[in-house]
Amino acid sequence: MSSRREFLTQVGGATALGFLVSACSSSKAAGATNGASPFFYEMSLAEWSLHKALFANKITNLDFPGIAKKQYGISVVEYVNQFFKDKANDTKYLGELLTRCKDNGVTNHLIMCDGEGSLGDPDAAKRKQAVENHYKWVDAAKFLGCRTIRVNAFGDGSAEDVQKAAIESLSQLGEYAGKENINVIVENHGHYTSDGNWMVRLMKGVNRSNVGVLPDFNNFCVKREGGGTWSGKCIEEYDRYKGVKQMMPYAKGASAKTIDFDANGNCVETDYVRMLQIIKDSGFKGYIGIEYEGEKLSEDEGIRKTKALLEKVTPMLS
């Protein structure tokens, strides 16, 4: 395995890049707002909202910070590792990304990490490899001035076995990330992770201040036809409002997922007044990321409608 510490030493020794990191990362605390937002939170934009354009090569990951700021007026971004999968250790590429951030006045918040192995795999060797696969994204987050990486806690086996394995993996990954002042957060992303009770037990088992969760407003399918995590029709869903309320004590961000809207611009699948009230009542003060994932609207329109919905609903909260 290549030396992660050498990679970080390169970063620390590069004066120009150090300036860029400072310029692109104004947030000092995990998820803390920088004072620019009139709300109790600050909006960020999840790169997955533009996944169709990215997969179609209409835009690139390097374009993302500029698009967030210039097209949507959003100054905080959440990357998806799929769109720069082979660049985690590429200091030249990451330096260019930082330049794009600086030029647009954009803060890097987190990297969503997928495809690096199952942190909840009961097989010890596979689990160890999955943990080590995530190290490079901790390093990349450090380089970019992010405070957080988002991971998955998937695995094959019983709820108890997967949870036990994930506690071990997250503890190890959290220890590595903690040395670099980086948070590791788990999203409710299907199967066991979409069960609020399971997620709470997971967090209590890890019990690290830099390991938390990313509540997603819509990912609460706990059982699908055929038993898959992603494929198959959802046949059992956990109560999303209960789940978010349970997870908020461990939240270091939140994902404002939207799929569809009614004629009044309200989200069809989630009551945003109710959901945001839960988040506000928890005392949360961090970033809420816009993540449009619908099919009926263009990605551009979906992002704009989600942003408008947040702006409309937030002032209505008690």
The Cα–Cα gap between 87 and 98 comes to 13
Query: For residue 226, what pLDDT band results from cuts at 50, 70 and 90?
Result: confident
The Cα–Cα gap between 4 and 7 comes to 5
Per cent of the chain over pLDDT 70 is 88
Tell me the mean pLDDT in the region 206-230: 90
Structure tokens at 191: 């199967």
Domain count, the chain: 1
pLDDT digits (tens, 9 = 90+) for 82-117: 999 999 999 999 999 999 999 999 999 999 999 999
CATH number, position 93 = 3.20.20.150
pLDDT above 50: residue 15 = no
219 in Cβ contact with 246 (< 8 Å): no
* Structural domain boundaries enclosing 146: 4-316
pLDDT above 60: residue 245 = yes
The Cα–Cα gap between 14 and 57 comes to 31
pLDDT attached to residue 30: 40
Sign, CA dihedral 106-47-271-274, equals negative
pTM score over 0.85: yes
Tell me the mean pLDDT in the region 245-263: 98
pLDDT attached to residue 227: 73
What is the per-residue DSSP string for 195-234? -HHHHHHHHHHH--TTEEEE-BSS--EEEEGGG-SSSS-E
